[in-house]
Amino acid sequence: MKALLIDDETDALEALHLSLLETCPEVAVAGKFADPVKGLAAIRTLKPDLVFLDIEMPVMNGFQLLEELGELPFSLIFSTAYDRFAVKAFRYSAIDYLLKPVNPEELRKAVDKVVEKHRVEKAQIELLRQQLYHPDTRRFDKIALPYAHGYTFVELADLMYCESDSSYTKFYLSTGEMYLITKTLGDVEDMLQGGDFFRIHKQYLVNMRHIRNYIRGDGGYVVMPNKVNIPVSRIKKDEFTERFTRF
């Protein structure tokens, strides 16, 4: 697998190259570029299979570099110094990323995912760009759901609730569609925390804005627009009712 590394920090470039040599022998580094303009030219001439790309760089940042390209016929892994809160945006857009300084174990995982996944889509890049520059999670309006041949981009406003199915999660939309993805409900909760979503039960994460009724009881249950009743855990009841009064 032929790779290019583009990062204005030379120390980061060398560290990433060394980690690749040690942990990912199948990745052949064809070039390292601290100048994004030269990196862009190398992408066009060398036609890599994989690009490791920094985001914040002088003259041309990572998004501007990608905008200069037409199609993106390569896999992409961003390297970033963004904090962990901002990195939530990467999860929304389903793009692989590495936090600096790069952890060799995380690098190995990212490369393994590249082997399994398809090429990056322009829609993913635009979604990530918007989200990173609007760090308030309430301004995130879409999420990327993976499936066998790519990603489906879903409006968060349309997402009614998520249901745990062992190591999978079912996404139920107000449009009547249902998607099954290979992430646990815990992973999804972490991705959506801070917005309108609340884990009311170990098996359910609901969009508070879609709740039609709350029926009191031991823990009670909520009624969703599709007439599905979802139980509220006893240990979540007080927190749920406190949050429910905000809407």
**SS3 assignment, position 104:** helix
Indicate where the chain has its CATH 2.40.50.1020 domain(s).
Answer: 141-244
Whether the per-residue pLDDT at 59 is higher than 50: the answer is yes
Report which DSSP code applies to 233.
Answer: P
Please report the sign of the dihedral spanned by the C-alpha atoms of residue 115, residue 121, residue 122, residue 124.
Answer: negative
Q: In this predicted structure, what is the pLDDT of residue 137?
A: 46
In this prediction, residue 118 has a pLDDT band, given cuts at 50, 70 and 90, of low
Q: What are phi and psi of 181, to 5 degrees?
A: -125, 160
Indicate where the chain has its CATH 3.40.50.2300 domain(s).
Answer: 2-132
Whether the per-residue pLDDT at 87 is higher than 80: the answer is no
CA distances from 194 to 2, 85, 197 (A): 39, 10, 7
Q: In this predicted structure, what is the pLDDT of residue 148?
A: 72
Q: Which residues pair with 142 in a beta bridge?
A: 155
Distance CA 7, CA 19 (A): 15
pLDDT, mean of residues 128-153: 73
Query: Given the DSSP bridges, would you call strands 75-80 and 50-54 parallel, antiparallel or unpaired?
Result: parallel
Which is more confidently placed, 21 or 142? 21
Average pLDDT value over all residues in the chain? 87
Q: What is the pTM for the complete model shown?
A: 0.68
Report which DSSP code applies to 80.
Answer: E
pLDDT digits (tens, 9 = 90+) for 187-229: 888 888 767 899 999 999 999 999 999 998 888 999 999 999 9
Q: In this predicted structure, what is the pLDDT of residue 138?
A: 45
CB 171 within 8 A of CB 159: yes
pLDDT, mean of residues 105-124: 82
Report which DSSP code applies to 139.
Answer: G
Whether the per-residue pLDDT at 10 is higher than 60: the answer is yes
Residue with tokens 């609730």: 161
- The CATH class, in words, for 2-132 is alpha beta
pLDDT, mean of residues 140-158: 82
Q: What CATH architecture does domain 141-244 belong to?
A: Beta Barrel (2.40)
Q: In this predicted structure, what is the pLDDT of residue 84?
A: 62
Percent of the chain with pLDDT over 90: 53
Percent of the chain with pLDDT over 70: 93
pLDDT digits (tens, 9 = 90+) for 32-45: 999 999 999 999 99
